[in-house]
């Protein structure tokens, strides 16, 4: 029968595949760090060096991540105009993460192994970071991640220039406690950041005698909040801790206002609403509500005034600047500082030199922690004003050392699993 030939071919190929598998592959038990993929291919011989920007330019996250891209671009242009990094001009390779974890992983690999970039800047959602982490670790490359996140992570191949929990969520809880909150209601989107954050919030609440009256999750993109808001209203907590992300905030705050709830009666403290999002939600729906970040456009410093002015000059006078944008801008300058301190673009040299590198960022002076690759940042609780900007209401006063695993907080033991 004519199929036999094809079958024979398949059989031969199968046998050879099995032979290859048994023959020379390394077992898991072998040291994984010796993978040959770790050999870098970064070319630093010329007058320029390649860096990668990986942001979602399409899909649901594009609206947020485009702002980060713009801010990274601004930093790169400024650095190039001032003579580059260690005398080399930066050549940007930009890739689209398309708001999909799988695409982030693929494009990260492309930037590292195809384009041989010296470092990659980008990512926003925790999903995108978690998708990229194994790629950077197995290729021994560097990622600078600019967004606040849920902590409990520390990779030697990632520098986290946004806040970790003890620089944003824990100060926010301290703030609510100071204001006399005895009970909380937790509202969040149904994914890893809000869930992990709420796990931490519940541990804090338990240790501080705060009652958690309810915990509700909505799928990302969910826009019907009548049920959740009526539960919040019925629970009558002293404050709401909001970890909703994206469009859901628009619907939530409209419904919250419609239900007759106000910032005075039951404040909603949000950790994912920055200047950029306030416009979408509508200032009238959210005015007076507290938010927690490490940077606001209204910060009164020479560095920030210059950053805001430069950004508006590059992208238009109506543009606002926000915490993730500032953290992205800062991340490129921190990498520049690390390279110039290490006098090398090699990953191992940068990892060694990173500790103690500082930058006078728009948010204030930041310092890299060489142990966990996060940066010391000042926590700021702000209130949303009538002008749509956020005004600082409370500050930690000085930069808080990053502690992603919350090791210095007795109530958090056991959280990192």
Partner 1 sequence: MNLKSFLTNRWAVAAGFAVAAVLLLVVAPALLSSFRLGLLGKYLCYAMVAVGIGLAWGRGGMLVLGQGVFFGLGAYIMAMHLKLADAPPSTGVPDFMALISSDGVPVWWEPFRSGVVTLIAIVVVPTAVAVLLGLATFRRRVRGAYFAILSQALAAAFAILLIGNPRSTGGSTGLNNFKGFFGFSLRDPANRMTLYVIAVVALLAMVAVARQLMVSRYGELLVACRDAEERVRFLGYDPAAIKTFAYAVAAVMAGVAGALFVPIVGIVSPNDVGIVPSIGLLIGVAIGGRTTLLGPVLGAIAVAWAETSLSERFPSGWTYAQGLLFMLVVAFLPGGLASLRPIVRGWRERLRPSHTADSAPVPSLSGSSR
Residues that bind partner 1 (CB under 8 A): 2-3, 5-7, 9-10, 13-14, 16-17, 20-21, 24-28, 30, 32, 35-37, 57-58, 62, 94-96, 98, 100-103, 105-106, 109-110, 113-114, 125-127, 130-131, 133-135, 138, 152, 190-192, 195-196, 199, 219-220, 417
Considering beta carbons, is residue 138 or 392 the nearer one to partner 1? 138
Contact 119, 50 (CB under 8 A): no
Report the nearest approach of partner 1 to the CB of residue 197 (Å): 10
CA distance 341 to 193: 34
Q: What is the largest CA-CA distance in the chain?
A: 84
DSSP β-ladder status, 290-293 and 364-368: unpaired
Structure tokens at 338: 């690390």
Considering beta carbons, is residue 74 or 181 the nearer one to partner 1? 74
CA distance 350 to 357: 10
Considering beta carbons, is residue 168 or 245 the nearer one to partner 1? 245
Report the nearest approach of partner 1 to the CB of residue 64 (Å): 14
Structure tokens at 166: 């003890």
Considering beta carbons, is residue 23 or 397 the nearer one to partner 1? 23
Considering beta carbons, is residue 174 or 215 the nearer one to partner 1? 215
Considering beta carbons, is residue 107 or 254 the nearer one to partner 1? 107
Structure tokens at 1: 């029968």
Report the nearest approach of partner 1 to the CB of residue 158 (Å): 13
CA distance 393 to 395: 7
Report the nearest approach of partner 1 to the CB of residue 121 (Å): 15
Which residues on neighbouring strands pair with residue 400, listed in sequence order?
377
Considering beta carbons, is residue 196 or 304 the nearer one to partner 1? 196
Report the nearest approach of partner 1 to the CB of residue 343 (Å): 29
Report the nearest approach of partner 1 to the CB of residue 299 (Å): 31
- Number of Cβ within 10 Å of residue 243's Cβ equals 23
Considering beta carbons, is residue 182 or 199 the nearer one to partner 1? 199
CA distance 205 to 159: 30
Dihedral sign, Cα of residue 298, residue 275, residue 323, residue 174: positive
Burial profile 78-107: b = 16 or more Cβ within 10 angstroms, e = fewer = bbbeeebbeebebbbbbbbbbbbbebbbbb
CA distance 144 to 162: 10
Q: Which of 291, 298, 323 is nearest to 172 (CA)?
A: 291
Report the nearest approach of partner 1 to the CB of residue 297 (Å): 27
Report the nearest approach of partner 1 to the CB of residue 168 (Å): 18
Report the nearest approach of partner 1 to the CB of residue 155 (Å): 11
Considering beta carbons, is residue 36 or 82 the nearer one to partner 1? 36
6: buried, middle or exposed (CB in 10 Å: 19+, 13-18, 0-12)?
Answer: exposed
Q: Which of 397, 402, 367 is nearest to 380 (CA)?
A: 397
Contact 172, 381 (CB under 8 A): yes
């Amino acid at each position: 029968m004519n199929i036999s030939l094809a079958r024979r071919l398949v059989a031969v190929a199968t046998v050879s595949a099995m032979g290859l598998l048994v023959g020379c592959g390394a077992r898991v038990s072998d040291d994984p760090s010796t993978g040959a993929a770790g050999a870098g291919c970064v070319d630093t011989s010329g007058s320029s060096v390649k860096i990668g920007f990986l942001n979602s330019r399409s899909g649901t996250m594009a609206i947020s991540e485009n702002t980060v891209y713009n801010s990274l671009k601004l930093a790169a242009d400024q650095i190039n105009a001032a003579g580059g990094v260690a005398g080399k001009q930066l050549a940007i390779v930009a890739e689209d993460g398309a708001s999909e974890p799988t695409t982030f992983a693929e494009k990260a690999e492309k930037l590292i192994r195809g384009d041989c970039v010296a470092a990659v800047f980008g990512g926003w959602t925790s999903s995108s970071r978690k998708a990229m982490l194994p790629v950077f670790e197995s290729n021994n490359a560097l990622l600078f991640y600019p967004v606040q996140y849920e902590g409990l992570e520390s990779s030697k191949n990632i520098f986290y220039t946004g806040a970790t929990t003890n620089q944003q969520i824990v100060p926010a809880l301290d703030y609510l406690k100071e204001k006399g909150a005895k009970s909380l209601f937790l509202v969040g989107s149904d994914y890893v950041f809000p869930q992990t954050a709420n796990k931490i919030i519940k541990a804090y609440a338990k240790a501080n005698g705060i009652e958690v009256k309810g915990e509700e999750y909505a799928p990302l993109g969910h826009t019907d909040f009548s049920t959740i808001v009526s539960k919040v209203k019925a629970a009558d907590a002293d404050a709401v801790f909001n970890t909703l992300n994206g469009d859901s905030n628009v619907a939530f705050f409209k419904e919250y206002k419609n239900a007759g709830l106000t910032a005075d009666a039951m404040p909603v403290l949000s950790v994912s609403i920055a200047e950029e999002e306030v416009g979408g939600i509508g200032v009238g729906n959210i005015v007076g509500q507290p938010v927690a970040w490490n940077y606001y456009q209204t910060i009164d410093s020479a560095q920030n005034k210059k950053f805001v002015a430069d950004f508006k000059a590059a992208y238009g006078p109506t543009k606002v600047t926000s915490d993730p944008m500032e953290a992205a801008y800062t991340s490129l300058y921190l990498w520049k500082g690390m390279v110039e301190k290490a006098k090398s673009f090699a990953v191992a040299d940068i990892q060694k030199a990173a500790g103690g590198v500082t930058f006078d960022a728009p948010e204030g002076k930041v310092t890299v922690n060489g142990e966990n690759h996060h940066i010391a940042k000042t926590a700021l609780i702000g209130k949303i004003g009538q002008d749509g900007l956020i005004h600082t209401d409370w500050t930690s006063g000085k930069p808080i050392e990053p502690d992603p695993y919350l090791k210095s907080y007795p109530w958090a033991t056991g959280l990192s699993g």
